[in-house]
Structures are given as structure tokens and as C-alpha cells.
Amino acid sequence: MDYKDYYKTLGVARSADANEIRRAYRKLALKHHPDRNPGDKQAEDRFKDINEAYEVLGDASKRARYDQLGASYRAYRRSGAGPGEFDWSQWMAGAPGGVRVEVGDLGEMFGGGFSEFFNSIFGGMAGGRVETGGRSRGRDVEQAVRISLQEAFQGTTRTVRVDGRRLEVKIPAGAHTGTRVRIPERGETARGKPGDLYLVVEVEPDPQFERRGDDLYVDVPVDLYTAVLGGEAKVPTPGGTVVLTIPAGSQPGQLMRLSGRGMPRLREHERSGDLYARLKVEIPRHLTKRERELFEELASKKRR
């Protein structure tokens, strides 16, 4: 197993603070996002690496463990030993003792899961879901649940039936397709401890908002005169309509960022992604005689 340098992946120094790491991640994730690079396998792989690096460096406890591992690994390499001889066993998540680890939901979100390195070293920290083996235990059970984007924005509940009993389960704000909500000891029963129940979330496509990670994109109609002269436009957000100032000379398709108006972050509810208003400039189909004269006058001046 190879050591992965997450600092190098994000292009930041080991001394970088949380804000520097977050800025680097956002910049790289936007550049390599699959939606911006359709069919580009290299960009898709890079995107997964970037998100894995941020999953570690963006979490204080994982970063502390990673830094300890890194110091040990660098000292080992300075001794002149080869990379294949490093003893990984002391760093394996959940070892020893027959522990089963469930990796958090970001693996499903970005497709293909995390790397072997992440799963071995950080799997047991990827959401705190570690269960002890060595006892008779029932099988875990999964149920799919569908929610709307608005429910994902606000958080919601679902009622499920388990062994004839009704359970009301809270789905946290910021959930995305692939998020797994664990209900301990509500799975299949056995002689010993019951297994767990997992609700696997699917967020339905929204007719208005396009979701990319925690960021949202929405089309905002703007009339030609506002685009040319400047003005204001109403922008829908999941939290309500806001008024956006449109600068003079705005172009069709131009993106305008509304900071913090996107989806809540699943593990950091006090923070949210951004919302991008995509300007759709509406060209008038029918002109009055006077309007046509004015446009012709402008066109003639431009030709001179």
C-alpha cells in the first residue's frame, strides 16, 4: 500500500490553516468537477483524489492522525528503507480485535469509494460508525428512501416499518444521494446483538436547482435592458427569494455567486455551499416602432 500525500494533492503546505485548505479544495474541485469535464476519466480520478484529501485535511481529528502517520512515515524513509517495508499494521483503522468498519457516505457521493489507503487508515473515523465483532450479531439491513432537494436543504423525517414497528427517523440537512443514516440495533435479529438498519438516501432531481456537491445553480431570467444598463433581479433560493444586483454590461450565461446560499454541509451544519445565479438574458421578440428606431440608431452608430 502506498502512502498518499494529501497536502500535495491540494497543493497546500503542511502548516496551512483550515481556511487555506478549504479555499484550495474549492478551487480544485470546481476545476476538476465531472460536470465541467464530461467523459474525462483523468479529471474524474483527480476529483476523487481531491475530495479524499479534503475529507482528511478538512477534519481536525483525521488530520491529526494523518499528521502523526506522516511524521512516522517520513522518518522511516529518511532512514533509507524502501517504501514497501513500512509497517502499516499499527495504523490500520480498527486493528486489532475483529472490528468491522463502515466508511462514511462521501465515498458513495463521489463514486467508486475511497482508496485502500483511506479505508485502512481512516475508515473507522469516517463518521464514527465502528462496531465490535467477535459476537453473534444479526445482519445489517438497508432501506432506500427518497427525499426532495428542499427536504435535503431543511432536513426531514421518514417513518419506516421494522419488525412491525413504526420508527420515525431524522434525515439531516445537507443529505445527498448516497448518504446513509444508521439506526443502531434495528436490523436483523440473532441470538446475540441485532444488526443495524441503514436508510440509504436518494435526493430526487429538482426542476429548478442543479446541485453540484454543496453548491447550487439556478437560471435567472434578466431582461435585455437590465443586462445592458444594470439593475436588480429576483433570485430563488431554497431558503427564499433574494434580490441580486445586476451590474451594467452583464453577459448571457454569466455566473454570479451568492455566498452561503447553497446546501448545508452535512457534517458542518453551521456552514453552507454557495448558490450560483446563471443569467439568462431575454431578447425581446416584439418591438414597438420607437424601440426599433432606437435599436437601429444604436446599430448605425456602431457601424461607423
Whole-model pTM?
0.54
Structural domains in the chain plus CATH codes: 1-134 (1.10.287.110), 137-204 (2.60.260.20), 210-303 (2.60.260.20)
Q: What are phi and psi of 292, to 5 degrees?
A: -65, -40
Task: Please give the Cα distance from 221 to 250 (Å, whole number).
Answer: 12
Q: What is the pLDDT of residues 133-176, one digit of tens each?
A: 444 567 777 888 899 999 999 999 988 887 777 888 888 899 98
Task: Please give the Cα distance from 177 to 210 (Å, whole number).
Answer: 13
Averaged pLDDT of the chain: 80
From the DSSP assignment, how many helices (H) and strands (E) are in the chain? 9, 15
Q: What is the pLDDT of residues 115-126, one digit of tens each?
A: 777 766 765 444
Instruction: Output the pLDDT for position 1.
Output: 65
Least confident of 20-24, 160-164, 223-227: 160-164
Q: What is the mean pLDDT of residues 204-215?
A: 93
Query: pLDDT tier at 86 (50, 70, 90 boundaries)?
Result: low
Strand residue runs (E) in the chain: 99-101, 130-132, 141-147, 156-162, 165-171, 180-183, 197-203, 210-212, 215-223, 231-235, 242-246, 255-258, 264-265, 268-272, 275-282
- Please say if the pLDDT value at position 112 is more than 90: no
